[in-house]
């Protein structure tokens, strides 16, 4: 007979969403370079986004029914929500690539999706280490790297917009690519939001 209730393993939910984020970021990068597979890859990303919604809802349900949590409830809610925001923004970018029928691969878009892959890889590393707060020093190293990549993403987006306005004459093509590029940069920003929540938990539990 258990005298004290066992804490729910919320980390498995964080890690589950993160695995889908990594796959979605890779698929989005392929969409930026393989125009002929856009619809197929976009459908795969949409399926991953739906799966993440399911994990998010399950996390919230468990949060409502769990007596003991590994750290503050509001931080668990914030972390799973910020992770879900990452894949939501990836899905928005993918959906626009398909909807707008982006006519040709863009080196600017490819550069940003490459940065997004880097950011999500470091997020996955941080989430893995975050399972044990004894790894706080190593985890903080990942968080610093996420912030660095986010800064690089801001610079890459500005450079991309300069290039688009300089080189693309068709205003409709310009608007389409601009919106998708901004969506990808938003996904990178949401990775930084994840890092901020993890940092807050580490500081609270120091």
Percent of the chain scoring above 70 in pLDDT: 95
Q: Angle, nearest 10°, between helix axes 171-204 and 73-100? A: 170
Residue 7 is predicted with a pLDDT of 62
Query: CATH homologous superfamily of domain 11-204?
Result: Phosphate transport system protein phou homolog 2; domain 2 (1.20.58.220)
Report the distance separating Cα 85 and Cα 131, nearest Å: 21
- Find where tokens 């498995």 sit: 12
pLDDT tens-place string over residues 156-194: 999 999 999 999 888 998 999 999 999 999 999 999 999
Q: Indicate the pTM of the whole model.
A: 0.93
Instruction: Inform me whether the pLDDT recorded for 34 exceeds 60.
Output: yes
pLDDT at position 5 over 60: no
| CA angle in degrees (0–180, nearest 5) for 167-86-19 | 115
68 with 16: CB under 8 angstroms? no
Looking at residue 106, its pLDDT comes to 81
The full set of domain ranges for the chain reads: 11-204
pLDDT of residue 66 exceeding 90: no
Distance, in Å, from the CA atom of 25 to the CA atom of 187, rounded to the nearest integer, reads 9
| Phi/psi of residue 45, nearest 5 degrees | -65, -40
């Amino acid at each position: 007979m258990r005298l004290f209730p066992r804490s729910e393993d919320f980390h498995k939910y964080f890690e589950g969403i993160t695995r889908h984020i990594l796959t979605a970021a890779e698929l989005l990068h392929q969409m930026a370079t393989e125009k002929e597979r856009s619809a197929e890859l976009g459908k795969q990303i949409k399926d991953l986004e739906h799966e993440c919604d399911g994990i998010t809802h399950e996390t919230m349900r468990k949060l409502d029914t769990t007596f003991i949590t590994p750290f503050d409830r509001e931080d668990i809610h914030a972390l799973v929500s910020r992770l879900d925001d990452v894949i939501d923004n990836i899905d928005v970018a993918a959906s626009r690539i398909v909807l707008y029928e982006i006519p040709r691969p863009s080196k600017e878009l490819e550069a940003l999706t490459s940065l997004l892959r880097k950011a999500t890889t470091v997020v996955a590393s941080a989430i893995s280490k975050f399972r044990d707060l004894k790894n706080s020093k190593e985890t903080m190293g990942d968080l610093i790297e996420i912030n660095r990549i986010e800064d690089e993403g801001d610079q890459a987006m500005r450079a991309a917009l300069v290039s688009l306005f300089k080189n693309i004459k068709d205003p409709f093509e310009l608007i389409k690519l601009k919106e998708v590029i901004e969506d990808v940069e938003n996904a990178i920003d949401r990775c930084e939001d994840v890092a901020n929540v993890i940092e807050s938990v580490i500081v609270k539990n120091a």
